Chains A and B, each alone.
Chain A
Amino acid sequence: MSMGSSLCPAFSTFTKHSPLVFNRNVHAYPFLRNCNCIARGYSQKTVDSNVSVSEAPTRPHSEILRIRESLLSREKTAVEIAEDYLSRLKERETKIKSFLYVSEHALQEAEQLDKMVAAKSPLGPLAGVPFGIKDNLCTLDMPSTGGSKILEGYRPPFDATCVRKMKEAGALAIGKTNLDEFGMGSSTENSAFQVTSNPWDLSKVPGGSSGGSAACVAARQCTCSLGSDTGGSIRQPASFCGVVGLKPSYGRVSRYGLMAFASSLDVVGCFGTSVMDTAILLEVISGQDSLDATSSLLQVPSYSSLLPSIGSLETKPLDGLRIGLIKETVVDGVDSGVVSAIFKAADHLQVLGAKIQEVSLLSFSLGLPAYYILACSEASSNLARYDGIRYGNRAPADDLVSMYGNSRSQGFGQEVKRRILMGTYALSAGYYDAFYKKAQQVRTIVQTDFKNALKDCDLLISPAAPTAAYSIGEKTNDPLAMYAGDLMTVNVNLAGLPALVVPCGFTAGEGQKLPVGLQFIAAAFDEERMLRAGHIFEQTIGDLCFVPPLL
């Protein structure tokens, strides 16, 4: 099977699994209109001759497990897999521009892996999996710019902990992905180097700030990727690009080697084309790290093994699960296509046995300005380190103070400068109580509201963004309009909760249909419950295919 076939899942992938239980219970699921089609896909022996390939099941499968199977069965070598991905990466890169740098070592690393396969040495859980790395994560053998001119060409002398763990698990670092400068933006248009396109429609943004990491996975340029999420930077691009995005609990994943933007909010997370893949990744990158004092001491569960195989599912696999739909996220002003996709998704969860109730979070709208005050304040302090002394680019000047001013003036882009100035303002004496302290008080009520909501509900759901992907250039001159797009995600960061975005439907605007993501929010360190619900949701949603048609 060529890797190219991963674009449209073929029957052969699924025949290894047992038939779907839904085959028997299809009438219990009025929502699953295409259930027959799905069920037939899983038990090919019963496929009747009228089913065409176009009706093949679109259920996302784990690319990571597939690569592992290919390697272990000797169906493919790691070099062949890496070559497949690299050639696709290069071909699509001219249109998508998701990468700032492509590794020169990936094939050599794949060769090493093949030697291990031949020697029957134990393989890491991610052996041969090509992954992209958001460029605000430090990498030893690739430049790390954070999307900023001030770090153009910078080569850190160490790997971020999450990158090191991926490599130790056998994954192949394939390149560094584009982003809004230092993570400050929601469209990846604030990169100092290039604008990334949405693989669903090249005239649209991929979202941001982890736009490159989302786009490269959607375009199948790599299997999965690492990103960071300060106010939605993983979840909103996952929604815009139709991939799965996972933002872990604050403290779950070490941030050593992540270029700090807002330290009370930043988390490292990941993207994949299935919930299973993000669960496998989370398991690899999580855990306490002596180099990050905020990393949690809690044990890391085996997330992937907790996800049920679809063959074993009961009639109502989510029976008894209490899910709250956040009322403030499906109100007027939110795109009607998004709202209708979310309602459909909620219906489906109900069909799976979940109890859906509406939940109101009164602090929701206050969270947005509070988030921006806190994020800008922390950024103004964190970015003081870029001064042209120890690393990064230095502008010429006669004295030190002018050198600071010139280096930062030439090195930072407009949005970064604006945020530093806003943060500087909010932290100024006389304004501190009115802005920074007030925002921290809002953070307290946001945390309390979530805690209370998660007493009555096991999970909360909402859209990941108020719209689907918008046009490149549409919001670049209107910061407030751009910030408003973060309404659905920032509160989760203020509360430090984990959240998962799973593609759930499409909006039909003019031209190309665009994906919509469903956000699941769980209590702190309850990633398991969220991954399980997301996995079952994704595996049963029916005939929606989240592979961009342009590719």
Chain B
Amino acid sequence: MHILREMMMLREMMMLRGSSKLLLPIGTAPPRHWSTKRHMQCCSSSSSSSFSSPHYKFEPSDVLQLAEKASIKLTPKEVEEFQPKLQQLIGWFGQLQEVDLDSVLPALRADNLGHRPLREDVPIPFKDRDAMFAAVPEVEGPFVKVPKILKENLE
């Protein structure tokens, strides 16, 4: 077991980063700059229903790969159950490809808020530090305790 300083924990250990590290292509990855037109041809030629495009077919191994990226350990039974459902849902998502939206700007959220100046980047200490620490699963003294970080780092 390693014991780390709590600040280090916050910065390093919390970062599961669902998105930014996902660089692995999954299944039959489409090319990066993928034209709508090309996809529509693909859909119309082989799609069995409007909600399931075979283009997005992926295998149980892809489910496992996704689960690994999301830091969720799945049982073989879960993989088996998830695979058809995920495929169905991702096929359903695929219907958006049939719409030409190339000239439309993406919206990050509702445009209700107008210009919001950011607050100053100043830390505000939380008042009840002890209560916050009471929720930590494992502590040792002033530290948050976690299992060892690198398998190779055994000593």
Contact = CB atoms under 8 A, between A and B. Distances in A.
Contacts of A385: 14
A372 B18 contact: no
Contact of A425 (B16, B90, B119, B148): B90
Kindly name the residue among B26, B71, B97, B113 whose own CB sees the greatest number of chain A CB atoms within 10 A.
B71
Contact of A369 (B88, B93, B116): B93
Contacts of B66: 421, 424-425
A438 B112 contact: no
A370 B23 CA distance: 22
Contacts of A420: 18, 70, 72
Interface residues of A, number: 84
Interface string B57-79: 00000010011011111110010
Given A405-B72, A480-B92, A441 B97 contact: no
A385 B30 CA distance: 30
Contacts of A296: 112-113
A439 B135 CA distance: 37
A401 interface: yes
Interface in A371-414: 372-373, 377, 380-381, 383-385, 387-394, 397-406, 408-409, 412, 414
Contacts of B97: 434, 438
Contacts, number: 237
A429 B9 CA distance: 28
A445 B67 contact: no
Contacts of A61: none
| Secondary structure dominating the interface of B | loop
B18 A381 contact: yes
A443 interface: yes
A501 interface: no
Given A385-B14, A422-B90, A438-B101, A404 B26 contact: no
A369 B63 CA distance: 20
Contacts of B95: 366, 369
B89 interface: yes
Interface in A413-440: 414, 417-418, 420-431, 433-435, 437-440
B130 to A, nearest CB: 8
Given A422-B90, A429-B23, A441 B106 contact: yes
A297 B24 CA distance: 42
Interface residues of B, number: 76
A69 B82 CA distance: 55
B145 to A, nearest CB: 9
Given A389-B137, A392-B137, A420-B72, A429 B110 contact: no
Interface string B83-98: 0011011101101110
Interface string A489-529: 00000111100000000000000000000000000110000
A308 interface: no
B71 A405 contact: yes
Interface in B121-155: 126, 128, 131-132, 134-138, 144, 146-151
Contact of A380 (B19, B85, B118): B19
A528 to B, nearest CB: 16
B30 A441 contact: no
A366 B147 contact: no
A104 B99 CA distance: 54
B86 A425 contact: yes
Contacts of A391: 135-137
Contact of B9 (A389, A392, A433): A389
Given A154-B135, A387-B14, 12 more contacts: A158-B126, A293-B118, A389-B146, A394-B138, A400-B149, A401-B71, A403-B146, A409-B73, A418-B89, A428-B26, A434-B39, A444-B107
4 cross-chain pairs, A with B, having the tightest CB-CB distances, nearest first:
A496-B110, A440-B106, A157-B131, A405-B73
